[in-house]
Structure 1
Amino acid sequence: MNQRTLVAVRKPVATAVPEPADRRRGFGLEQRRNLTGWLFLIPAALLILWMNFYPMFRAFLLSLQTGRGSRLDYAEPLYYNYQRLLGDEIFKMTVTNTLIYLVIQVPIMLVLALILANILNDPNLRFKGLWRTAIFLPCAVSLVSYSLVFRTMFATDGMINNILMDWHLIGAPINWLGETGTARFVIILGLVWRWTGYNMVFYLAALQNIDHSSIEAAKIDGAGPIRTFWYVTVPQLKPMILLTAIMSTNGTIQLFDESWNLTQGGPAYTSMTMSHYLFELSFLKNPNFGYGAALSYVILVLVAVLAAVQMKVGDKRD
């Protein structure tokens, strides 16, 4: 047997190694992980679709219908309810009222919350926990309870009129809840009192994470407390300010509780909000669910548009 024959005999024979079963089926480790993740997500996604998006779709179909109670038919034309809103004087008044609350209350509340947060963030302040709790407490108080207190305080024979008359600031009691301007003022005051502490907590949390070296550098350069706060602290709080502005705007556009509990929308709808009017259309007097659903979609569009504008104006990230 020659050398070439020996090499041929000793050469190992290549055998085919079988591929793993999952690879033959096309499922690798990464694919199996993705599939497992989707299996966990599908129940939650279906629940969200069922509880949130399906009612929104049904509400849109309802906004295209007209009639009273449960006797509803599709309107002709389909946009009849939306067209009717444009000529509804009460709806226009509620939009005006809501925008007044938004333009006046939200800036006052956010500025006041920012100032209070900066004061209460001082490490040398004594009884910080007490002051923080006291300012935050109003948003934890029952809405009905504080509404009853406000209605009692601002009654014609209430504490506010008594104090003002004792100080000789007014000569006769003011009908706070029975006149348009004062009724709106009471609602704005109630909103500021209740939600300032809530926004203050967000600013306090943000102040804990700002770069203190920049504040120290500003002090070394001779900047006073006001200039340091405005030019150094506030820019670093910009993302949190944007967040609270969007949340406060959305909450004010959907405002219902204060209008219902403090003034009942009076006098003559001049302090009523859009959500309060939606409630009256849908559940009081002669229920009109189709018209109410159309109004709810107008509120949704307003919330979405204002949030988008605030994001566009306030978010300057590259």
Structure 2
Amino acid sequence: MITKNVFIGWSFITVASLMICLFYFYPMVQALIMSFQSGAGTNLKFTGFENYARLFTDPTFISAVTNTVIYLLIQVPVMILLALFLSVLLNDKKLKLKGLFRTAIFLPCVTSLVAYSVIFKYLFGVDGIINMMLMKVSLISEPIEWLTDPFWAKIAIIVAITWRWTGYNMIFYLSSLQNIDQSIYEAAKIDGASAIQQFFKITIPMLKPIILFTSITSTIGTLQLFDEVMNITKGGPGDATITISQYIYNLSFKYTPDFGYAATVSYAIVIMIVFFSIIQFKVAGDKK
């Protein structure tokens, strides 16, 4: 027999559950079905695993995966370490104007993706302020082709996404640091532990769940990287900076529409996210 409380409870979650099924699970299932189909536009026919086999011989997809993994392996560790360093500095009770510094570092992650990407495009232009400053201090003798050289274009993308998302991760670490009992640090000081020893023996272990969480979310975000590359380099020069998400966009809207293969590439991202998440859980030693 359905009681009044059970009815009220189900009435609260039914609409939300239906919305989740309609806007999340249904498109996921449809995309999975579409990944086994191929054809121009909406004229699709079932081709089995042909699209998945095509991934391994598609040079553009291989370039996109290579570039995305490079961004992931370089940018995520740098961002995590930088966010940890800044959170420890800004958690110091003796530091003045902490609120100002915290806001300034967090502010980039609430700016428009397109707006900040366009700004970085101009900053890293041949006659942009970055080249002007480097030449001013005599670090370079001629402007660097940041956006037209394959190597430097990747560096520009990495700098851009690090600038934007470091403050976001810093807030997680900062809030966690403020929940650590200060008596632990006081006891460590009495035992003669240095600041570095406290950081590695107390701070890092206490922040381990948050570090794992931010590492996984940052990995997911990097594997889905689109806006920065699209607005700063457009995937160029050639395919030197193209990402998997941009390739999906090209397959769907720039080239002759091939929604079936685009869905296959989308599920390649899902597989990569699962793969890297499992690795991070194993490295972190999380058994749950």
TM-score band, normalised by the shorter chain? over 0.9
Which of 55, 71, 74 lines up with 2:43 in the alignment? 71
Which of 44, 51, 55 lines up with 2:16 in the alignment? 44
Measured in 1, the distance between the counterparts of 2:263 and 2:44 equals: 12
Structure 1 position 106 matched with structure 2 position 53: no
State the match for 1:301 in structure 2.
271
CA contact (8 A) 1:215 1:233 kept: no
Give structure 2 stretches of 5+ with no counterpart: none
Give structure 1 stretches of 5+ with no counterpart: 1-26
Measured in 2, the distance between the counterparts of 1:317 and 1:219 equals: 32
Q: Secondary structure at the match of 1:68?
A: coil
State the match for 2:26 in structure 1.
54
User: How much has 1:86 moved relative to structure 2?
Assistant: 0.9
Which of 143, 159, 163 lines up with 1:173 in the alignment? 143
Q: TM-score, normalised by structure 2?
A: 0.95
Q: Which moved more, 1:137-146 or 1:124-133?
A: 137-146
Q: Which moved more, 1:137-146 or 1:109-118?
A: 137-146
CA contact (8 A) 1:66 1:74 kept: yes
CA contact (8 A) 2:68 2:223 kept: yes
Per-residue CA deviation, residues 2-58 of structure 1 (Å, 9 max, x unaligned), is xxxxxxxxxxxxxxxxxxxxxxxxx38xx6644543343333222211111111111
Structure 1 position 119 matched with structure 2 position 82: no
Which of 209, 213, 236 lines up with 1:243 in the alignment? 213
State the match for 1:280 in structure 2.
250
Measured in 1, the distance between the counterparts of 2:143 and 2:287 equals: 53
Measured in 2, the distance between the counterparts of 1:163 and 1:46 equals: 55
Q: Secondary structure at the match of 1:87?
A: coil
State the match for 1:12 in structure 2.
none
Runs of at least 4 residues off by over 6 Å: none
- State the percentage of identical aligned residues: 49
Q: Secondary structure at the match of 1:279?
A: helix
Measured in 1, the distance between the counterparts of 2:35 and 2:287 equals: 38
Which of 111, 128, 136 lines up with 1:141 in the alignment? 111
What do you get for the CA RMSD once the two structures are aligned? 1.6
Larger Rg: 1
User: How much has 1:127 moved relative to structure 2?
Assistant: 0.4
State the match for 1:20 in structure 2.
none
> Residue type matched to 1:54 in 2?
Y
Measured in 2, the distance between the counterparts of 1:169 and 1:41 equals: 60
Q: Secondary structure at the match of 2:116?
A: helix
CA contact (8 A) 2:117 2:227 kept: no
> Residue type matched to 1:82 in 2?
Y
CA contact (8 A) 1:94 1:269 kept: yes
Q: Secondary structure at the match of 1:261?
A: helix
State the match for 1:184 in structure 2.
154
Report how many residues are paired.
Answer: 288
Measured in 2, the distance between the counterparts of 1:59 and 1:167 equals: 52
Distance 1:36 1:309, change over 3 A: farther
